[in-house]
Amino acid sequence: MIRIANVDADPLLVETWQQLMGFVLEQRFRWAEVATDLGITQAGLRALLAIDPRQPQSMRELATAMNCDPSYITAMIDDLERAGLAVRQPSQADRRVKTVVLTPGGMTALQTARDGLLYPPPQLAQLTPAEQQQLARLLQHGLNPTRQEQ
């Protein structure tokens, strides 16, 4: 069931939100481009972004973090291994458990993926620096109201 949070929302806010959602959904093509550039599938890209490069994670921990079946994680990590971006290693705490560790190439690929997907799209560069800062402040305030203004 879809729940509407505030049926009395300002019409301009509703229209702007719809435009923003359309804009965000249009960015999905970037996933395919970045995955292709890295030589992995989009599912592999999702796994790459979920792996914490500072802390080896078990396959089960990745499945939980990504909210998917452990068997699906296996296919994703297979993809990363084929591309030389990750390896499975026995856990130091329990050798029966396999952890996933990024290779040096995987670390580079992770940075490439983050740059390609998480950097603001070119359309926002059309805003002046002051407008970019204002937009960032408004979004941070609206999306994270507990965050202190800096």
Beta strands in the chain (DSSP E): 57-58, 86-90, 98-102
Predicted confidence (pLDDT) at residue 148 exceeds the cutoff of 70: no
Q: Average pLDDT over the chain, rounded to whole?
A: 89
pTM (2 d.p.): 0.76
> What CA–CA distance (Å, rounded) separates 16 from 45?
30
pLDDT band, residue 83 (cuts 50/70/90): very high
C-alpha torsion angle, residues 55, 61, 67, 68 (rounded to 10): 120
Sheet holding 98-102, edge to edge: 57-58, 98-102, 86-90
Domains and CATH numbers, the chain: 14-120 (1.10.10.10)
Predicted pLDDT of residue 5: 60
The per-residue pLDDT for range 1-36, each reduced to its tens digit, is 455 565 677 888 888 889 988 888 888 888 999 999
Over residues 30-53, the pLDDT tens digits come to 899 999 999 999 999 999 999 999
